[in-house]
A and B are shown apart, each in its own frame.
Chain A
């Protein structure tokens, strides 16, 4: 069983469109959407939710107004600015450390467990799909990513599947690290822009830091062929194989609007290139 994660550093380079196409191309796999705070893959896979679970993680302080004497000790120790002047908790600022509760001389603060989101196991016409929804303004997205990765891996082992295909989040922080950890291969999708190159370089370093082998794809490569050349040269220097170059193709947006993967929507150049990429990757 092979775990393949699609990442990019920069957002909006085409991760989900490419991961969605793999859903059409790969057999015997489970799909996972690890971009838990702005998940989009369900818009292509149209899941029928089979299992729904609460994601409990972290705590939030609650002040009992009847016991609180407004002494201000909690305000002086809180490093997250989470206690408002009226001695109530700004829940989206509270990181759940609990220090205010330990320090309060009147026992007026207790900690309540957060329901930080939900995760799902679904059926799609492409097979199993594990996905999640982080609660609005919640934290611990890295832990939620780790949770659905574990569920997907166990499912793949139980069903003797060949692949876990992961649509990752943008950036290089905690949800990206959680998406990468233990993967067999990371596919970086970038675009021929200075920002695309800059961000791909950083996420490439993160993958290297965690010893994950990396391959790269340039999306909309014909928008700036000189820049595409620079990205290819950059990859050559680092022994990162460039396994595909996808041309700008208006069919991609049309497929998206119809809620279809580009493989299924119509014969198109972008779809042909993604087929080639999958053959390289599998």
Chain B
């Protein structure tokens, strides 16, 4: 089973939930798909066994074959190619803007001269390791690199279906989140009971409904703010899987990279319950289809 942990608003506790869930269960694979700002390793402190470069294919032009016809420029939907034709006996040239390239492969496939091949451009790194029995994989996007979805897809290629897979997703509601949660059997949305938390929860719920992924809500710092997140969940028939009150000790150990279950072992049962809750809801969703 693949469980992703997401939220519209950042800083609500996605990584906390993901890490503590992983530490409370057996036979786990943990994927940190927040490749812009990966944090799970701070808490899990995995032993990294190998590192691989994450790459995307970008075009390279063989100018000995190129006739500067402009077909590649014409088909590139991302304006990542400019072609200067030959003029007054001066040689033409092709300019590639790799940071705009989505790696779709259209230019290479459609070049009439077969003058374009793809070369790998590094966009980040993937590290693979373990923490006791937990298998750990995370991606780290290079500084200045704009596009995280290709790296997220590459992290997800490591999914080990024989294990319970926990995916720590990035915040927001756009392409990085969708790439991270797509294909999950269940998604846990973490929020806080404030107007910002509610506003962004509503957006995240719309995303999951569009993706047709069953989901439930965890309310973190449940005793700050107001009761409107709970009201909303009741009205929309969204299960509240768990509530965690604000606790200064938990906040301090978080700040030092110590997971809740290591600070207070009684939380382990609460996270096992969260998992059982998820299994129940997932089976319910399956039997409805």
Tell me the A residues contacting B by CB distance below 8 Å. 8-13, 16, 36-40, 43, 58-59, 77, 79-80, 92-93, 95-99, 102-103, 134, 136-139, 141-142, 169-177, 191-196, 198-199, 202-203, 205-206, 209-210, 223-224, 227, 250, 253, 256-257, 259
Give 1 or 0 for each of B167-195: 1 = CB within 8 Å of chain A CB.
00011111111100010000000000011
Q: How far is the CA of A136 from the CA of B174 in the complex (A)?
A: 7
* B-side interface size class: 35 or more
A141 to B, closest residue via Cβ: B174
A134 to B195, Cβ gap below 8 A?
no
* Among A99, A141, A175, A198, contact of B37 (Cβ-Cβ < 8 Å): A198
B143 to A, closest residue via Cβ: A205
The answer to whether the Cβ of B113 comes within 8 Å of any Cβ in the partner chain is no
Offer 20 A-B interface pairs, CB within 8 angstroms, sorted by A: A8-B10, A9-B37, A11-B10, A11-B12, A40-B195, A79-B103, A92-B178, A96-B77, A97-B78, A98-B106, A103-B109, A134-B174, A136-B203, A136-B210, A142-B146, A171-B148, A176-B36, A191-B255, A203-B37, A209-B143
* Among A103, A136, A176, A203, contact of B206 (Cβ-Cβ < 8 Å): A136
- What 16 additional pairs, Cβ within 8 angstroms, besides A93-B178, A134-B173, A174-B147? A10-B10, A12-B171, A38-B9, A38-B199, A40-B196, A58-B77, A79-B105, A92-B211, A137-B174, A137-B211, A193-B255, A198-B42, A202-B143, A203-B37, A223-B248, A253-B225
B181 to A: closest C-beta gap in Å:
10
Q: A79-B104, A195-B42 are in contact. Are A43 and B195 (CB under 8 A)?
A: yes
Q: How far is the CA of A92 from the CA of B149 in the complex (A)?
A: 12
* Among A40, A96, A134, A202, contact of B9 (Cβ-Cβ < 8 Å): A40
Q: Which residues of the partner chain B approach A170 to less than 8 Å between Cβ atoms?
A: 10-11, 36-37, 171-172
Q: A10-B11, A99-B105 are in contact. Are A37 and B211 (CB under 8 A)?
A: no
Q: Which residues of the partner chain B approach A210 to less than 8 Å between Cβ atoms?
A: 144
Q: Which residues of the partner chain A approach B200 to less than 8 Å between Cβ atoms?
A: 38, 40
Q: A79-B103, A174-B147 are in contact. Are A99 and B42 (CB under 8 A)?
A: no
